[in-house]
Structure 1
């Protein structure tokens, strides 16, 4: 087992050439030769969590407190998944045990009032008529025979998407290493409560559920379940999807989602609208070089046209050397130039960059560096985002 900390110096490990090659190919960690044969230096590569790659177990502890990581993940995919007070990470310093603990508690609370039931359309061949007869199927499959009858009906059942997600997440977590005894006990209890629910088919898309008044008590558990199930695979920069026996989270993506969603919410009182991951802009007239700023704020000008008035981009850095933020500044300068703006905003996690105002020579453009302290409480963390929103609105 290799234990790493996000952003920490590399750890020297005894590995075979095959193990080193497997770790390198997975790109979960960065591997380089050590001072002698058979000794390798291993460090994180932007992921936190736990995974088994070949016969090597890798555990990566986030540099940010686990409870705060779960708070950031609540903003993933532009939709608040849960409130902070609903998610308790316990005393677990590592992400996977903490997430399992939080999920088990949330799912246990959801099921205390009974297992959710709902209507599901069923198509079956029965000896009696139930619901509607599927006449075309009856003729095609039964060749005029009266029985069995091809029917379609709505069945009131526990086999609904919400329960299928909870069952799949419980089963998956129970297979993973490093979980507390009490957490495993709770997961087994959840699986027993979900008897009669159909397991998910591996490789198929997750079932779709929609928030409603009837499944309100399930919401937190379902968001956590989706996080558990999606954490089984991740996409590399080249578009390749890699599956892991464990759960990994890309911290830069979690930070980006948090900043863009929380910032767009904080900008609402100032009017206009915020476009996240805006894809409509290009660097060149031939539109061969696309730009995708994290957030662009638009307002309606006096002529009735929608115009960009502010741009922001989030940056989560593991480490930077001298001039390590130069590429970020060049990128923001390109955004401001294309959008016709005199000021752009870069948002870093505190420690990656300090607040600073860059004035670009000969361009008439200012680039403001903001920082967010991820160790603060959720209320103070959101307060920092609101101050950044105020700065952005004043520069518009």
Structure 2
């Protein structure tokens, strides 16, 4: 043990790569504990050198800044994804809105190579396109106390509050206004991004301009549930911006305070992002075929319905019977390939659903496509590997190839007598 070595001065920023080997960095103990408590990275103190921590990034990518309450020390941790940021935003955009502009280059991350600056830039550009023609207006149900009758009188409230007085009047009416859910969501996303450290100055300036445009819209109180919106023909020019804004606000942001510390930033979980992309892309591939795709479809493994299971993707035929099943697995591989536990899980899905074949879809690494015939069961388990570094059109073509193989699976299953 290096007993004679004193504490090492802490760094101001740490750069990590998703699923890369562990690195040792000097950090305040409070910051290291905060990173571990918030599960941002795997963080453990160095047992031999005071003030150093061993950090390893998992599947979360983005940037966070940790601020200690007593010393105001700040450490920024940036986690770079394995795939290029443009590919990451294609996966995100396609999973949010398959009919959106993600595939044909209308959505650009400019020169930004890091996740948070690219996210802020993309959201600002989409908000600008949405509100360039003026803020969307709509009808909002309003209840208020007034000196003139407008809309209808709330009789129960008038009696309870006014005790027979004629004025003021408790009224309810539909107001045509810009203070509607769609604009409130855009304002909340813009303000959330402006609070995050690491947004480039020019992007921050443009976001401030968008906030000024939305200044007359009432804010969403932090901590309250995000109001729901429905895509319609009337709000079509807002669709892309709203999908991105909800991604900013749906809880993927890191804004915790473990042990009195403040953690500000934005993180994407690549596990969830990949799973969403694969399942949505498969659903789109089967659209119009007469089959029904269900995502995160709940079932039970046993007859007593005690053991729950939820495959990522189950395809049903026109008769309502399952004809194919798939699971998306974005994870670090073992040196000799993908984990065997995934095969056991898929075998359970196939057995419970009465299917002869199952499909595991991975982000491509050092293992390629494989198929495993299960002894004494007559079940074939496929492992597909998607190369995320290729162009969007090629990636979607690979998804369609997986869908065709699943279609063949469905035909074979339909022609196989059930036991």
Question: Deviation of residue 38 (structure 1)?
Answer: 2.2
Question: Deviation of residue 128 (structure 1)?
Answer: 1.4
Q: What is the CA–CA distance in structure 1 between the aligned matches of 2:227 and 2:288, rounded to whole Å? A: 36
Which residue, out of 44, 50, 55, partners 1:42? 55
Question: Deviation of residue 367 (structure 1)?
Answer: 1.0
Q: What is the CA–CA distance in structure 2 between the aligned matches of 1:47 and 1:161, rounded to whole Å? A: 30
Secondary structure class of the residue paired with 1:268: coil
Q: TM (normalized to structure 2)?
A: 0.86
Aligned to 1:238: none
Does the aligned pair in 1 maintain the 2:294–2:313 contact within 8 Å? yes
Q: What is the CA–CA distance in structure 1 between the aligned matches of 2:366 and 2:189, rounded to whole Å? A: 34
Which residue, out of 87, 96, 101, partners 2:116? 96
Q: How do 1:286-325 residues align onto structure 2 when only pairs under 5 Å count?
A: 286-300=304-318, 306-322=320-336, 324-325=338-339
Aligned to 1:395: 409
Q: 1:86 to 1:219 in 2, by over 3 A?
A: farther
Q: TM (normalized to structure 1)?
A: 0.91
Question: Deviation of residue 324 (structure 1)?
Answer: 4.6
Which residue, out of 339, 342, 351, partners 2:353? 339
Q: What is the CA–CA distance in structure 2 between the aligned matches of 1:23 and 1:395, rounded to whole Å? A: 45
Structure 1 gap ranges (5+): 236-242
Does the aligned pair in 2 maintain the 1:317–1:352 contact within 8 Å? no
Asked if residue 119 in structure 1 is aligned to residue 139 in structure 2, the reply is yes
Does the aligned pair in 2 maintain the 1:232–1:245 contact within 8 Å? no
Question: Deviation of residue 319 (structure 1)?
Answer: 4.0
Q: 1:186 to 1:62 in 2, by over 3 A?
A: same
Residue-by-residue CA offset, 1:257-297 (whole Å, 9 max, x unaligned): 111111122123544222211102x2222222211111122
More displaced stretch, 180-189 vs 226-235:
226-235
Asked if residue 57 in structure 1 is aligned to residue 71 in structure 2, the reply is no
Q: 1:256 to 1:88 in 2, by over 3 A?
A: same
Structure 2 gap ranges (5+): 1-12, 69-74, 256-261, 411-419
Q: What is the CA–CA distance in structure 2 between the aligned matches of 1:129 and 1:200, rounded to whole Å? A: 29
Q: 1:184 to 1:133 in 2, by over 3 A?
A: same
Aligned to 1:66: 85
Runs of 4+ in 1 over 6 A off after TM superposition: none
Asked if residue 21 in structure 1 is aligned to residue 33 in structure 2, the reply is yes
Q: What is the CA–CA distance in structure 1 between the aligned matches of 2:355 and 2:145, rounded to whole Å? A: 65
Asked if residue 128 in structure 1 is aligned to residue 148 in structure 2, the reply is yes
Does the aligned pair in 2 maintain the 1:353–1:369 contact within 8 Å? no
Q: What is the CA–CA distance in structure 1 between the aligned matches of 2:320 and 2:141, rounded to whole Å? A: 45
Count residues in correspondence.
383
Asked if residue 173 in structure 1 is aligned to residue 186 in structure 2, the reply is no
Aligned to 2:22: 10
Residue-by-residue CA offset, 1:174-230 (whole Å, 9 max, x unaligned): 111222222111111111111211111111111222212221111111111111112
Q: What is the CA–CA distance in structure 1 between the aligned matches of 2:152 and 2:38, rounded to whole Å? A: 51
Question: Deviation of residue 244 (structure 1)?
Answer: 5.2
Q: What is the CA–CA distance in structure 1 between the aligned matches of 2:289 and 2:406, rounded to whole Å? A: 10
Does the aligned pair in 1 maintain the 2:337–2:366 contact within 8 Å? no
Q: How do 1:1-396 residues align onto structure 2 when only pairs under 5 Å count?
A: 1-34=13-46, 36-55=49-68, 56-76=75-95, 80=98, 82-84=100-102, 85-233=105-253, 245-268=264-287, 270-280=289-299, 282-300=300-318, 306-322=320-336, 324-351=338-365, 353-396=367-410
Question: Deviation of residue 375 (structure 1)?
Answer: 1.1
Q: 1:177 to 1:233 in 2, by over 3 A?
A: closer
Q: What is the CA–CA distance in structure 1 between the aligned matches of 2:344 and 2:27, rounded to whole Å? A: 40
Question: Deviation of residue 19 (structure 1)?
Answer: 2.1
Aligned to 1:239: none
